Amino acid sequence: MRRYTLIILLLLGARTAIAQDNIWVVANVSEVDSVFSKADVRTLFMNNSSTQKPVLQPVALSPGHRVRSIFNAKVLALPESRIQSYWAQMRFSGRMTPPKEFETLEEMLEYISNNEGAVGYMPAEIELPEHLIVIYESL
């Protein structure tokens, strides 16, 4: 009996870990034209701008944060080293600057909540303030 209880607990823990690997991209906008595709989100975060009205401004977590790693792998499909190299080239050439970065999810969520047009990524199922909307879900 103990063995089955242990197996059930391990399976429940694995299910929770898998759920934590899902990402929501959330925005502080009153309305958005449509749900974003993975390519739309990638363009937004790698070009640091959008043609949406209002203009969307992406924000990110600092390198090394687990949620950032999941977002990079699942949505951007790039390793951190490639992303850092890309933004170094963009800064050096004076073409673009990377998204504003935050140390914690709480800081990023507060920034998104207080700034119209701000867009960031969160673990799926996180409790969001009412005025933020999910524009992309990575499952």
Q: State the 10-residue block means of pLDDT for the chain, 139 residues long.
A: 50 47 92 80 83 80 96 95 94 90 96 95 92 91
Domain range for 27: 22-138
Burial 101-134 (b: 16+ CB within 10 A, else e): ebeebeebbebbeeeebbbbbbbeeeeeeeebbe
Q: Is 7 inside any structural domain? A: no
Q: Is 10 inside any structural domain? A: no
pLDDT at 14: 43
Q: Is 96 inside any structural domain? A: yes
pLDDT at 16: 43
Q: What is the CATH number of the domain that holds 92?
A: 3.40.190.10
